Amino acid sequence: MQNKSIKQFIMIFYFSGTGNSKHVAQTLSGLIGDNEVINIADFHDDIANKKDVKITVKNDGFLGFVSPVHSWGLALTVKRFLERLRIQNPQSIKKIFSVFVCGDTCGKAMEMMNERLKKYNNIQLDFYCSVQMPNNYIVMKGFGTDPKELEQQKLSKAEIEIPKIADAILNGSEYKNYVIGPKPFLKGRIIYPLFMKFTLGDKKFFADNNCNGCGLCEKTCPEKNIKLENNRPKWLGHCVKCLACIHRCPKTAIQYGDITQTMGRYYFKK
């Protein structure tokens, strides 16, 4: 999917494990009109082969990103994408925006995006904000999905916020809401690199006896990191921990070590 020439006025790139960021991107798109919504996972092969992703934005067009927050920073797929993205006409873009979709707080995600936009394309975000959506991080003790009531509250609040964000993007109306959270330096600059180095492996994933070999995990994995072997998922070693597989499994058959047996599951349903 290289060398994309976008004719629409606004192009929105998103990445999503459990559907929250996809929903935010698609809702924004519906409100904004005249735009194209592009899944960053579609560039998987280019990114894996370290090929540049060249895009041309319509003159005076808008360019946007919608991304989940991982460990108070950028989800690895988004980070890699930004490091491969080569905008052919950065000077003709009218506005660059990003919406960070978190469970609670975003830490250094925005700064990390701006650093990469600057380094690889010499551009900066003109507008950014966060939206809190239900938590999906369940593969570490002490974390977990939100109680159902909180999940519903977050979803309802997001439905009110997204139109305001669309208005801010399109019309420049005031909207300031980026929940950075406490100790952003510690979390974003110290914990994030450690998280990326030590916790991304997929060795602890397995399918228990409830697995019926439906293959939804294989289809859902945006990193093409799952192959069915003898009707059972096999993880191939390049997981980015988006957790699509574990949350989408219709039989709750995917587990992560001994951590997730009692944890809830979540994915965005319309």
Interacting residue ranges for ligand FMN, rule: CB under 6 A? 16-21, 68-72, 101-105, 133-137, 241-243
User: What CA–CA distance (Å, rounded) separates 14 from 37?
Assistant: 7
Classify burial at 91, counting beta carbons within 10 Å of its beta carbon; exposed 0-12, middle 13-18, buried 19 or more: exposed
Of 250, 247, 256, 240, nearest in space to 207 by CA: 256
Asked whether the CA dihedral 213, 217, 219, 223 is positive or negative, the reply is negative
* Three-class secondary structure of residue 76 per DSSP: helix
**Closest separation between CB of residue 22 and ligand FMN, Å?**
6
* Three-class secondary structure of residue 87 per DSSP: strand
- Kindly give, in sequence order, each residue whose CB lies less than 8 Å from that of residue 238, ignoring residues fewer than 6 positions away: 48, 202, 223, 225
Token pair in block for residue 90: 């950065």
**Closest separation between CB of residue 140 and ligand FMN, Å?**
9
**Closest separation between CB of residue 122 and ligand FMN, Å?**
28
Nearer to ligand FMN, 114 or 121 (CB): 114
Nearer to ligand FMN, 30 or 172 (CB): 30
**Closest separation between CB of residue 209 and ligand FMN, Å?**
25
**Closest separation between CB of residue 198 and ligand FMN, Å?**
12
Of 228, 254, 258, 232, nearest in space to 243 by CA: 254
**Closest separation between CB of residue 53 and ligand FMN, Å?**
20
**Closest separation between CB of residue 44 and ligand FMN, Å?**
16
Integer angstrom CA distances of residue 77 from 16, 46, 153, 215: 10, 12, 28, 22
Tell the residue number behind the tokens 């990390």, with chain if given: 112
